[in-house]
Homo-oligomer: A and B are copies of this chain.
Amino acid sequence: MERSQGCLECTARGKHPFCNMENSSLTKFDTIGTPVQFGSGAVIFREGDHCGSVHVLCSGRVKLSATSREGRTLILKIARSGEILGLSAALAGQAYEVTAETVEPCKLKTIRRQALLDFLDRNPDASMRAARAVAQEYKAAFYEVRRLALPATASGRVANLLLDWSREASPETSGKGRCMMPLTHEEIASMTATTRETVTRVLGQLKRDNLIQIHGAALTVLQPQALERLAV
């Protein structure tokens, strides 16, 4: 009788397009999903694993990454609450494309792939929502390509990333340009196709030029326009 994790009562529901479906659909949805909790650093699934389930991220952040045979790691994005991990793999009927690893304690709702497909078949509004959710995922992946491939320099790619972060976070942290960046330089390097040392140097330069401020994990973008000029 775990009611605290019911989707109907979820306070964040309105914020998340997929979760915000009709009550009747959501009631049914609630019965096919299992609430799960993870600590920090837990692996939810691995790249190449058979996709048996999708995972709705209720709270917390999850790092999505891919690794090359030679050991180079690319972090695609940090997923936030409301995202549906593994949805595209489940719909396409293929293995997970990425590895999902929590970066902080997370609550999720896990749904078996077949149960989800049956549910979508029977609830047209949910299946439209799923299509929209994947469209969002697509858009995000597309902007990732853009962010990586268009800037000519490493500083451009880093600047792009910082701008993205400050834009995403703006509603929460009222002060403009402030956001939390709980990643190491090594991880930022994996998100910008560069090296740890280069990230250190670029961030150092941006601080010296007063374009940004960093206190621990707190990042403040002081001059967004100047960053944009760098970012191309």
Residues of chain A whose beta carbon lies under 8 Å from any beta carbon of chain B: 66, 68-70, 72, 74, 76, 87-89, 91-92, 94, 97-98, 120-121, 124, 127-128, 130-132, 134-139, 141-146, 148-152, 193, 232
Residue of B nearest to A133 (CB): B131
Contact A92 B232 (CB under 8 A): no
Oligomer copy total: 2
CB-CB < 8 A to A98: which residues of B? 142
A135, B88: Cβ atoms closer than 8 Å: yes
- Asked if A76 and B142 make an inter-chain contact with CB atoms under 8 angstroms apart, the answer reads yes
- Interface hub of A68, A72, A134, A136 (most chain B Cβ within 10 A): A134
Q: Which of B70, B72, B87, B144 contacts A145 (CB 8 A)?
A: B144
* A228 shortest CB reach to chain B, Å: 9
* Alpha-carbon distance between A149 and B141 when the two chains are bound, in angstroms: 13
State which of B72, B89, B138 has its C-beta within 8 Å of the C-beta of A137.
B138
Interface SS majority for chain A: helix
Beyond A72-B232, A149-B193, 17 additional pairs, beta carbon < 8 A: A66-B150, A68-B150, A72-B150, A74-B146, A74-B149, A74-B150, A76-B142, A88-B134, A91-B131, A91-B132, A92-B135, A121-B128, A124-B127, A127-B128, A127-B131, A138-B138, A148-B148
Q: Are A139 and B70 in contact (CB under 8 A)?
A: no
From residue A31, how far is it (CB to closest CB) to chain B in Å? 20
Contact B92 A132 (CB under 8 A): yes
B232 touching A70, Cβ below 8 Å: yes
Query: What are 8 pairs between A and B in contact, CB < 8 Å?
Result: A68-B150, A88-B134, A97-B139, A120-B128, A127-B131, A130-B131, A134-B135, A141-B141
Q: Do A142 and B70 touch across chains, with their CB atoms under 8 A apart?
A: no
